[in-house]
Amino acid sequence: MEMAQVRYFLSVAHTLNFTRAAEECDVAQPSLSRAVKQLEAELGDELFRRERPQAILTELGHRMLPILTRCYESAKTATALAGAVKKGEAGALRIALSPTIDLGLVLAQIQEVTKSFGGIATVLRRGSTAETLEFLTAGDAEAAIGAVDDSEMEAFERFPLFDEGFVLNCGRTHCIANSPRLSFGDLRQERFVLPRHSEHAEALVARLREAEVSLERCHEAFSDADMLRLVADGDSVAVAPRSLPAPEAIVSMPLDGFDLRRTVCLFTVPGRPRSAAASMLVNLLRARDWANADN
């Protein structure tokens, strides 16, 4: 069954005249009649009684009319939706962010894309660093942003966005809040919050061990929000990327001797076609001046 046959049937059912139906469908009358005959052959019986100049629906025709009407409308809807998705006017902008990437870093670009494409939906996925790239591989995201510098990530196209260091966060009421500069040596007695969700967690633990900080006293958090909440409570400190915005209750300060850095990158799958919306986002992120990303 072809949609042209269904369309011709519906037109004849509406006009009850093959000639007028052919005019309505902008097709030669013999071609329309032949297509209806082929549809009748497929269904096994006549859909119309030909009583010139009129066409009368048979019982089968009456039964098939609502079914084929729904079928035709669904096909039109599917075609329209496919066209809108191709143009970027429908569907969703699918992005994956690793746990330590603050949404505020890319929110302006996301909003610009969604506005340009008629307010399409945005789908944001979060997971571990590995899960973020799995979303990309599986097609659940068209772009991923994370701080992954592993050479094993050669399967992905990588666009470095910015490079940054780390700062020490503590509550404003903490005894070290007014210190101009600190080193790990000054923090041996402090209770740290270990960011277990972070790509720099292992490097941080190694530095704490070197500085003889007691790991047994450390809190553990699995999100930036929880880490900052524990720090704001006043009895603990945390090392965080410079670009992570701290709430008013928290003070950020440099940490002498801590030279850990990270490069935040945009990842895509090479050679895989992207939606128009995703392509625009990639272009905006690559074109942005990231010099003040941590401000």
Domain locations along the chain? 3-85, 92-161+264-287, 166-260
How many Å apart are CA 105 and CA 84, to the nearest integer? 29
Does domain 166-260 match CATH 3.40.190.10? yes
251 burial class (0-12, 13-18, 19+ CB within 10 angstroms)? Answer: buried
CATH, domain range 3-85: 1.10.10.10
Which of 53, 68, 71 shows the shortest CA–CA distance to 9?
Answer: 68
On the question of a common fold for 92-161+264-287 and 166-260, the answer reads: yes
Q: What does the radius of gyration of the chain's CA atoms come to, in whole angstroms?
A: 31
Question: Domain 92-161+264-287: which topology?
Answer: D-Maltodextrin-Binding Protein; domain 2 (3.40.190)
How many Å apart are CA 109 and CA 284, to the nearest integer? 6
Tokens 């009684």: give the residue.
49
What is the structure's pLDDT at 294?
59
Whole-angstrom CA distances from 256 to 73, 138, 177 are: 68, 42, 15
The strand pairing partners of 267, in sequence order, are: 144, 158
Cβ pair 241, 105 in contact under 8 A: no
Cβ pair 174, 234 in contact under 8 A: yes
The strand pairing partners of 263, in sequence order, are: 163
What is the structure's pLDDT at 210?
87
What is the structure's pLDDT at 143?
94
What is the structure's pLDDT at 87?
60
What is the structure's pLDDT at 80?
65
pLDDT along the chain (295 residues), means of 10: 89 91 92 93 91 87 90 78 59 90 94 85 89 90 84 78 93 88 85 92 90 87 94 90 92 88 92 87 92 68
What is the structure's pLDDT at 185?
82
